[in-house]
Amino acid sequence: MSLVFKTIQTEGIAELSYLVGDDDEGIAAVFDPRPDCDVYIAMARETGVAITHIFETHIHADLVSGSRELYARLDGAKIYSSYEGGVEYGFDNEPVNDGDRFEFGEVVITARHTPGHTPEHMSYLLADVDHADEPWGILTGDSLFVSSAGRPDLLGEKHTQKLAEQQFHTLRDFYLKMPDHVMIFPNHGAGSPCGADIGARLTSTIGYERRHNKFLQFDDLKKFTEYALGSAPPVPTYYARMKMVNEAGPEVLGGLPRLPGLPAKQFKAAIGKNGNQLVDVRMMLAFGGGHIAGALNIGGSPILSIWAGWMLDPAKPILLVLENDDDLEKILRLFVRTGYTKFAGYLIDGMKSWDAAGYPIERIGQMSVHELNERRSSLQVVDVRGPGEWKKGHVPGARHIFVPELRKRVGELDRSRPTVVYCGSGYRSSIASSILKQEGFEELWNVPGSWEAWKAAKLPVEGADGQ
Contact 66, 337 (CB under 8 A): no
Residue 241: exposed, middle, or buried by beta-carbon count in 10 A (0-12, 13-18, 19+)?
middle
Q: What is the pLDDT along the chain (467 residues), one digit of tens a residue?
A: 589 999 999 999 999 999 999 999 999 999 999 999 999 999 999 999 999 999 999 999 999 999 999 999 999 899 999 999 989 999 999 999 999 999 999 999 999 999 999 999 999 999 999 999 999 999 999 999 999 999 999 999 999 999 999 999 999 999 999 999 999 999 999 999 999 999 999 999 999 999 999 999 999 999 999 999 999 999 999 999 999 999 999 999 999 999 999 999 999 999 988 899 999 999 999 999 999 999 999 999 999 999 999 999 999 999 999 999 999 999 999 999 999 999 999 999 999 999 999 999 999 999 999 999 999 999 999 999 999 999 999 999 999 999 999 999 999 999 999 999 999 999 999 999 999 999 999 999 999 999 999 999 999 999 865 56
Which pTM does this prediction carry? Answer: 0.95
Q: Could you report the per-residue pLDDT of 10-39, keeping only the tens digit for each?
A: 999 999 999 999 999 999 999 999 999 999
**Whole-number Å distance between alpha carbons of 280 and 283:** 9
**Whole-number Å distance between alpha carbons of 204 and 189:** 11
Residue 29: its pLDDT value, please? Answer: 98
Superfamily of domain 261-356: Rhodanese-like domain (3.40.250.10)
**Whole-number Å distance between alpha carbons of 221 and 217:** 11
Helix H or strand E segment including 10: strand 3-10
Q: Say yes or no: do domains 3-248 and 365-456 share a fold.
A: no
Contact 191, 143 (CB under 8 A): no
Contact 39, 227 (CB under 8 A): no
CATH number of 365-456: 3.40.250.10
- Where are the chain's structural domains? 3-248, 261-356, 365-456
Cα dihedral sign for 346, 347, 350, 351?
negative
Question: For residues 412-449, b (16+ Cβ closer than 10 Å) or e, as one string?
Answer: ebeeeebbbbbbbbbbbbbbbbbbbbbeebeebbbbbb
Question: For residues 387-403, b (16+ Cβ closer than 10 Å) or e, as one string?
Answer: eebbeeebbbebebbbb
Q: Catalogue the active-site residues.
A: 423
CA neighbor of 197 nearest in space, from 33, 16, 14: 14
Residue 467: its pLDDT value, please? Answer: 63
CATH number of 3-248: 3.60.15.10
Q: Could you report the per-residue pLDDT of 125-176, keeping only the tens digit for each?
A: 999 999 999 999 999 999 999 999 999 999 999 999 999 999 999 999 999 9
